[in-house]
Every structure is written in structure tokens, then in C-alpha cells.
Amino acid sequence: MARYSAFLGRRVEVHYRAGDILLPASGTFVADSGRSIFLEQHLMQHGQQKNFRWEIPYQYIVRLEEVSDPPLAGKGEIPVPKGPKRAKSAPARDDDKAAEVRKSSAASAGAAVDATPEFSVDNPPKTA
């Protein structure tokens, strides 16, 4: 029995397990064999039409959601898929706090880049 056949022909985003990591995949849901789902994605790359198709077995699927079709950005450009609809964003004061955190983390990252390295490539350690 096909578990996900309701998604046939729709754009979906799938999160699936590959070893110890979760991978996202998005595309058009083209088939459901009863054991696996099949996604397809078409895009233009260097003026050539590229097609990607992949099979994801049921046991590796963690989450499957329908996503809305993204509008085409321009001729020959790859549309960026939008994520699933989410709740409204937090109030502006939380955004200000987040911006401050980003600034402080960027400043500390910049300070780490400016710091001199502990080991120099010019003088490698001597071994006995």
C-alpha cells in the first residue's frame, strides 16, 4: 500500500536519514512504490537542462512536507525553494537582541582571525 500517494505531482521537502546525518531533499513527488518514494528536480545549469531523480526508502524518511511552488526569479535562474510555512516572527525587540548577538559573535570571530597563530609554519617543531 502506497503511504505517501497523496503527494503525487506536488512539490515536497523530505528530510531523510543517511547514516548518522539528516539530509534535506526537495523536488516534485513523482512516484510511490509502496516501499520508496521518488523525487524529481529540473534546473538549468550553464545553459543546459539538468534532471535529478532520487529514490528514498520509507525507512529512511524522517519528515515529508508539501511546500508551495516558488515563483521564477528570472529566465534561466534556479528558483530557491521556500521552506514550510512557519509561525509569525518574534517582536522587533527580539530581532534587535539577535542583531546584537550576531554583531558580538562577528567581532569575536574577527578577533580570533587577527590573533597570531600558536604554531608557525616557518619554524616547524624539531623531532628527535
Domain positions in the chain:
5-66
- Predicted TM-score (pTM) of this structure: 0.53
| 5-66, CATH topology level | SH3 type barrels. (2.30.30)
Give me the pLDDT at residue 68, please. Answer: 85
Mean residue pLDDT across the chain: 74
Give me the pLDDT at residue 118, please. Answer: 53
Residue range 4-13, pLDDT digits in tens: 999 999 999 9
Per-residue HEC secondary structure of the chain comes to: CCCCHHHCCCEEEEEEEECCEEEEEEEEEEEECCCEEEEEEEEEECCEEEEEEEEEEHHHEEEEEECCCCCCCCCCCCCCCCCCCCCCCCCHHHHHHHHHHHHHHHHHHHHHHHCCCCCCCCCCCCCC
Give me the pLDDT at residue 92, please. Answer: 46
Percent of the chain's residues with pLDDT above 70:
54
Residue range 23-79, pLDDT digits in tens: 999 999 999 999 999 999 998 999 999 999 999 999 999 999 999 866 555 444 455
Range with lowest mean pLDDT among 47-51, 79-83, 84-88: 84-88
